[in-house]
Structure 1
Amino acid sequence: MLGRCLYRQMFASYKLITLTANHNILSYSYKASVIRVNGSLNKLDLCLHRSYSEKSKIEDVTVDFEHVKKATSNDNVYIIDVREPDEVKEYGSIPNSVNIPLGSVTPALSTMSDDEFAKVFKRQKPSENTEIIFYCMIGKRSGMAQQNAINLGYKNVKNYLGSWTDWAHKTQ
């Protein structure tokens, strides 16, 4: 084996959404690379390379109470509650929503088969173009779930910024 080297380069892609002070949203896509030689880590390229950037409107990635209220009667829109089951039990949930805790969002939307998704969540697995609205208690965890879904290739994901707190206040 002297003089021979097994070489493999792996890439990881990341998409980052940033909300600026003037409510513009900047979307960046990055690619990082890791090189393995003979199965061991040889070089880690820590420099992230931006491959594109575009401006989006906040309305494109967030929704308000009225939008969510209409979505509750539309079976083509997925409303996903990323709170833990105990929180859902204690506080309640938005009608027609599916509870997928934050830690389970990525596996459910990526590696879970269509049949398994349907069996567990009683709905078809969403396609990459399906409108998905994430919510939690105040909008922070749902923003993380939204970012995870974007990284998985879902194109029409939204965050309900007011989340359960806003919903409960406006439906009393």
Structure 2
Amino acid sequence: MKIEKCGWSEGLTSIKGNHHNFYTAISKDVTYKELKNLLNSKNIMLIDVREIWEILEYQKIPESINVPLDEVREALQMNPRDFKEKYNEVKPSKSDS
């Protein structure tokens, strides 16, 4: 497993290795400024897949929701009411990708 710094923010890291894509859109790198603009536009939902201890240690990414990576598959299969109850956010729909 290789860890490298993300290009858009100091202190955040990405882990390259085994992963799953839960979306169908084309992936692209986003600069810190682009991410900030996207979050301010309210046109995206940023799902932070870090574990709770990582959020507590390194802080929450503003305007993101936390769904730990090992819960993503199950979370996206939940009905909207259960998702809202557990994560306190509206569940993204398949058309949101």
Give distance in 2, aligned partners of 1:126 and 1:101.
Answer: 15
TM-score, normalised to structure 2, is 0.65
Aligned residue type for 1:129 = S
- Gaps of at least 5 residues in structure 2 are 1-24
**Higher fraction of strand:** 1
- Tell me the TM-score normalised to structure 1 length: 0.39
RMSD: 1.8
Structure 1, unaligned runs of 5 or more: 1-55, 131-155, 157-172
Out of 123, 128, 135, the position equivalent to 2:94 is 128
Offset from partner CA, 1:41-86 (integer Å, 9 cap, x none): xxxxxxxxxxxxxxx9xxx312222221112223331101111100
TM-aligned CA deviation for residue 90 of structure 1:
0.5
Q: How does 1:7-26 map to 2 (within 5 A)?
A: none
1:110-121 equivalences under 5 Å are 111-121=77-87
1:98 is paired with a residue whose SS is strand
Distance 1:75 1:116 in 2: 23
Task: Tell me the SS of whatever aligns to 1:123.
Answer: coil
Aligned residues: 72
Please identify runs of 4+ aligned residues in structure 1 that moved more than 3 A.
Answer: none
Q: 2:53 is matched with which residue? A: 86
Quickly say closer, same or farther: Cα 1:75–1:117, change in 2 above 3 A: farther
Note closer, same or farther for the CA distance 1:76–1:116 as it changes in structure 2 (3 Å cut).
Answer: farther
Percent of paired sites with the same residue:
35
Distance 1:83 1:121 in 2: 14
- Determine which of 56, 59, 72 is the counterpart of 2:39: 72
Q: What is the CA–CA distance in structure 1 between the aligned matches of 2:57 and 2:38, rounded to whole Å? A: 23
Name which one, 1 or 2, has greater alpha-carbon Rg: 1
